[in-house]
Amino acid sequence: MSRKLSTRKRPERDRHMLKEQLKIEEGVFDKRTMAAIWKMFNHNIISRLDFMIAKGKEANVYVADSGSSIAGDQIILKIFRIETSSFDRRIDYVRGDIRFEGKEGRSPYEIVRTWCKKEYGNLMIARAAGLHSPIPYYFNGNVLAMEFIGDNGMPSRTLRESELENPDAVMAAILSDLKKLYAAGLVHGDVSEYNILMRSNVPCLIDFGQAVVLGHPNSGRFLERDVGNIISYFSKRYGIEKDPSAVLDWLRKGG
């Protein structure tokens, strides 16, 4: 169910419904996460929480009905888990990125909050560069609201779950997006068949938390790994052979 509200004031019924929902989710969501979701509701980003579609490595991903400030019926809330074992891994992608120098945060919560803000900022850059990636709408604390990538209310499948009819074209579209991202000064850093969703025939890159600016000491290595992952996936599954260094040369040069 989705409803569009024309006024900024919420009907009592809506408030009551979300409060009840959040109560049910208590134990799943800690207080800070609940407060962030509540903010999304008050800012008309969401009108209700629907269901969880994925439990990723570091985040639980929910579908929510959009609030009146968002076009479209549904949106995605990516809720970063505060207790995860991936802080050490995360910190390597925050340190060395000039945007976050000295602002990494100390407590697990602060680090997760930085990570969430970083994914939001990275998605903004990706969209401005013309990538097929989700539009970021809003973030608060450890919760990020973004465009729902799906067809007819169903979340799109990952590249891995899809059997492609036109693998050459899809591979070319992915590499072209990586080139655009590079030209915009960013390297994704976790490109794989799991972080690409197939909306109809268009590959959409997701999961931008770890993406770093080119000045990051490991950006070169991350780019090589990203391109290598795509090349080896399409080689293994579809028998398409491409020379990684030729692709990297093409990707790094402008135009």
Determine contact, residues 174/205, Cβ cutoff 8 Å.
yes
The residue of the chain with the least Cβ separation from Mg ion equals: 207
Please give the C-alpha separations between residue 163 and each of 149, 171, 177, 238, in angstroms, as whole numbers: 18, 13, 21, 10
59 interacts with ligand ADP by CB under 6 A? yes
**Does residue 58 sit in helix, strand or coil?**
coil
Q: State how far the Cα of 192 lies from the Cα of 34, in Å rounded to an integer.
A: 31
Name which of 206 and 212 has its Cβ closer to ligand ADP: 206
**Residue choice 44, 114, 195, 219 for contact with Mg ion (CB under 5 A):** 195
Q: State how far the Cα of 180 lies from the Cα of 84, in Å rounded to an integer.
A: 32
Q: Is 226 a catalytic residue?
A: no
Total chain residues near Mg ion (CB under 5 A): 2
Minimal distance, residue 120 CB to Mg ion, in Å: 16
Minimal distance, residue 147 CB to ligand ADP, in Å: 6
Q: Hey, what are 171's tokens?
A: 């591979």
Name which of 79 and 251 has its Cβ closer to ligand ADP: 79
Stretch that binds Mg ion, among 10-18, 195-203, 217-225, 239-247 (CB under 5 A): 195-203
- Please identify which of the residues 65, 207, 226, 249 carries the catalytic annotation: 207
Name which of 14 and 30 has its Cβ closer to ligand ADP: 30
Residues 188-247 that bind ligand ADP (CB under 6 A): 194-195, 197, 206-207
- Please identify which of the residues 97, 177, 190, 226 carries the catalytic annotation: 190
**Residue choice 35, 48, 56, 87 for contact with ligand ADP (CB under 6 A):** 56
Minimal distance, residue 158 CB to ligand ADP, in Å: 6
Please give the C-alpha separations between residue 199 and each of 59, 96, 119, 132, 176, in angstroms, as whole numbers: 21, 33, 21, 10, 17
DSSP assignment, residue 29?
B
The residue of the chain with the least Cβ separation from ligand ADP equals: 56
210 interacts with Mg ion by CB under 5 A? no
Q: Is 207 a catalytic residue?
A: yes
Q: State how far the Cα of 32 lies from the Cα of 29, in Å rounded to an integer.
A: 8
158 interacts with ligand ADP by CB under 6 A? yes
**Mapped to the 3 state alphabet, what secondary structure does 37-96 carry?**
HHHHHHCCCEEEEEEEEEECCCEEEEEEEECCCCCCCEEEEEEECCCCCCHHHHHHHHCC
Other beta carbons within 10 Å of 165: 8
Q: State how far the Cα of 94 lies from the Cα of 86, in Å rounded to an integer.
A: 13
Total chain residues near ligand ADP (CB under 6 A): 22
Binding site partner of 53, from Mg ion, ligand ADP, none, Cβ cut-off 5-8 A by kind? ligand ADP
DSSP assignment, residue 65?
E
Determine contact, residues 66/45, Cβ cutoff 8 Å.
yes
Query: Would you please indicate which residues are annotated as catalytic (active-site) residues?
Result: 190, 207
Binding stretches for ligand ADP (CB under 6 A) = 53-54, 56-59, 61, 76, 78, 134, 146-150, 155, 158, 194-195, 197, 206-207
Binding stretches for Mg ion (CB under 5 A) = 195, 207
